[in-house]
Amino acid sequence: MLHQSDIHELKRIANQIRQDIIQELVHAGSGHSAGPLGMADIFTALYFQVLKHKPKKPEWADRDRLVLSNGHICPVQYATLARAGYFLAKELNTLRKLGSRLQGHPHRTSLPGIETTSGPLGSGLSQAIGMALGARMNHKKTRIICLMSDGEHQEGQTWEAIMFANKYHLDNLVAVIDRNNIQIDGFTEDVMPLEPLKKKYNSFGWHVIEIDGHNLQQIIDAFHKARKVTKKPTVIIAHTTPGKGVSFMENNPEWHGKPPTPEQAIIALKELTQEQQILEEEN
Amino acid sequence: MPINSHLKLVKNLDTPTQKPIRDGFGNALVELGPKKDVVVLCADLKESTRCEWFSKQFPKQFIESGVAEQNMASIGAGLALMGKIPFIASYAMFSPGRNWEQIRTTIAYNNVPVKIIGSHAGISVGPDGATHQALEDVAIMRTMPNMTVVVPCDTEEARKAAHALYQYNSPCYLRLAREKTAVITTAQTPFTIGKAEVLWTSKKPVCTIIANGPIVYEALVAARALEKKKIQVMVLNNHTVKPIDTATIVRAAKICGAVVTAEEHQIMGGMGSAVAEVLAQKHPVPIEFIGVHDCFGESGMPRELMQKFKLTHKDITLAVQRVIRRK
């Protein structure tokens, strides 16, 4: 169990990352809002608690690897990398601009801390599998974390990868599914039903953990539990609220693929600042 | 003989030995096996792609991916990111045919040294028919930034190409044919990625035949037939479609003033198009293209198909006669 003050600090960081996301998107004038906000808690837990990494030495050979398969939510990764110390937060405002290291979808050689290139859905888990096999062949204890969306399970390649990871007993691999139930065209269950997701993964030979993707203690515990699983890969199904923290964005598929206007950004930042103040008062 | 002697081609070009090009690749993998960074992945075609030889000797470095080429390509990318040199093998129709986007995003744009091996390429696959005859693979691969594209002419060149690609620290595509084809190069024949070789040259050549893959032998047969008709030519083995050897191609065009390109691929977008892109900019000369004319193949015996689709030495001979009239 983490100390209550640690959890509190993580919440403050997650809130800061949400504010950064709004700033990034309003400066960019395009991009995705709901997914990044929904994954801020998981990203905070990963970069500030779970992952073995060195922000000042991004190429450190023994680091854990994080693959962002649903690359379109990269504003949350960029904000987290900046807050973790990979680069200065002021660079976040260059997202999607000409000459920026912060490409519209993650590009490996553009920015330190980006382990691989992604964006077209369905290819991240396969890349993570390649890394997991490589780590095993190299006799390294490296952990590979692959973040995925629920919608990208409509891609056939995702299921090719799910089958493969079971065959090769990749217990150094953890997939995390952002189960936020939305995608560009609407609710995932209307576009293409995915349930029963847990049963599907179970029947493909994976160890499944389900959590509330906004409960930092649950998130961290899930990664600890995954470490103890042997001979099979683990998937963490994280139930999240798309647009989390901004009232008018929460649970609304409309916010999957668009940025706030400057006026909407002001309201969103006001809500998030208020939440940050409450967190500080609680401390 | 106008054969370029320092290339050390086989002595008997009249009745050369016939061997599958893919065998040379399979042998190279076995030779590369002791290198611990070599990993071979195959999509349920290990016997046909000749990866089986490697898999038996180096089982810990072999990964059977099942019939899932998209997954295989991206797994290759992940392995490369951990310091491996992965060779991913299938039929060209499926890899890069089916997994082009995964190759583009996770291998080429990612700029990782995965080696994509497309076997059973070209019309000479034969009886399997058009679904399995990759005729567009060079076009879709050479348009991809960071990608190197190599089309060896025989089994020995395929062996050397696989070794060279292992050393080449970038994404590469190696195109292989299924059928037994004439072996014209030897272990002593030089091979450098990006360097076209002048196999044949007469004193006063009036046309350069630029070929790659199994058709290189057809080009040599055509050159000899033309010699008898008092038409002197040069023959280039242009095994590397990308990066293309601009200097050698331009030099040949300047000497001869006319070009015929020959390949077992669609004319649109293939090696001939790459040559035309070079010459249109650097030294425009009349060009004729031997290749498949914007149509699908069909079932048949390889030789029958080569004849029907006009890919033989006779077609090359006629094309040379046509192009020199346009000078």
From B47, B52, B64, B69, the catalytic residue: B69
Examine residue B243 and say whether the peptide bond preceding it is cis (omega within 30 degrees of 0). yes
Rg from Cα positions in chain B: 19
With cut-offs at 50, 70 and 90, classify the pLDDT of residue A276.
very high
Q: Which tokens belong to A186? A: 């609407």
pLDDT, mean over chain A: 97
Question: Do B71 and A157 lie within an 8 Å CB cutoff?
Answer: yes
**Ordered structural domains, chain B, with CATH:** 5-14+190-325 (3.40.50.920), 19-182 (3.40.50.970)
What strands, in cross-sheet order, belong to the sheet with B240-242? B62-64, B38-42, B85-91, B115-119, B172-175, B148-150, B240-242
Interface test with B, best of A59, A72, A110, A137 (most B CBs within 10 A): A137
Q: What is the pLDDT of residue B175?
A: 98
In eight-state DSSP terms, residue B119 is E
Q: Is B69 a catalytic residue?
A: yes
pTM above 0.80, yes or no: yes
Q: Which residues pair with B117 in a beta bridge?
A: B89, B174
A contacts of B68 (beta carbons < 8 Å): 157, 160, 163-164
In eight-state DSSP terms, residue B65 is -
Rg from Cα positions in chain A: 18
Q: What is the pLDDT of residue A252?
A: 92
User: CA–CA separation, A162 vs A167, rounded Å?
Assistant: 9
Question: Do B106 and A119 lie within an 8 Å CB cutoff?
Answer: no
Q: What is the pLDDT of residue A283?
A: 73
User: Which residues does B74 contact at the CB level (< 8 Å), separation at least 6?
Assistant: A123, A124, A126, A127, A129, A130, A157, A161, B102, B106
Q: What is the pLDDT of residue A172?
A: 98
Q: What is the pLDDT of residues A157-166, one digit of tens each?
A: 999 999 999 9
User: CA–CA separation, B243 vs B253, rounded Å?
Assistant: 18
Q: What is the pLDDT of residues A203-233, one digit of tens each?
A: 999 999 999 999 999 999 999 999 999 999 9
CA distance B187 to chain A (A): 33
pLDDT, mean over chain B: 97
Question: Do B71 and A160 lie within an 8 Å CB cutoff?
Answer: yes
Chain B residue at shortest CA distance from A109: B110
pLDDT exceeds 90 at position A3: no
Q: Which residues of B touch A (CB under 8 A)?
A: 39, 60-61, 63, 65-66, 68, 70-84, 86, 101-102, 105-106, 109-111
Q: What is the pLDDT of residues A110-125, one digit of tens each?
A: 999 999 999 999 999 9
Interface test with B, best of A127, A131, A133, A158 (most B CBs within 10 A): A127
Q: What is the pLDDT of residues B238-278, one digit of tens each?
A: 999 999 999 999 999 999 999 999 999 999 999 999 999 99
ipTM of this complex prediction, to 2 decimal places: 0.96
Low-confidence ranges of chain B (pLDDT < 50): none
Interface test with B, best of A72, A109, A126 (most B CBs within 10 A): A126
Q: Which tokens belong to B16? A: 């050369």
Chain B residue at shortest CA distance from A105: B105
- Alpha-carbon distances of B266 from A23, A76, B7, B137, rounded to whole Å: 50, 45, 29, 9
Got the DSSP string for A136-191?
A: HHTT----EEEEEESGGGGSHHHHHHHHHHHHTT-TTEEEEEEE--EETTEEHHHH
User: Which residues does A249 contact at the CB level (< 8 Å), separation at least 6?
Assistant: A33, A34, A37, A242, A243, A255, A260, A268
Domain A4-282: give its CATH code: 3.40.50.970
- Alpha-carbon distances of B89 from B43, B62, B241, rounded to whole Å: 7, 11, 20
Q: What is the pLDDT of residue B178?
A: 87
| CB B228, CB B255: distance < 8 Å | no
Q: Which of B66, B81, B111 sits opposite A115 (nearest CB)?
A: B81
Q: Which tokens belong to B234? A: 């040069």
Tell me which residue of A69, A136, A75 sits closest to A103, measured CA to CA.
A75
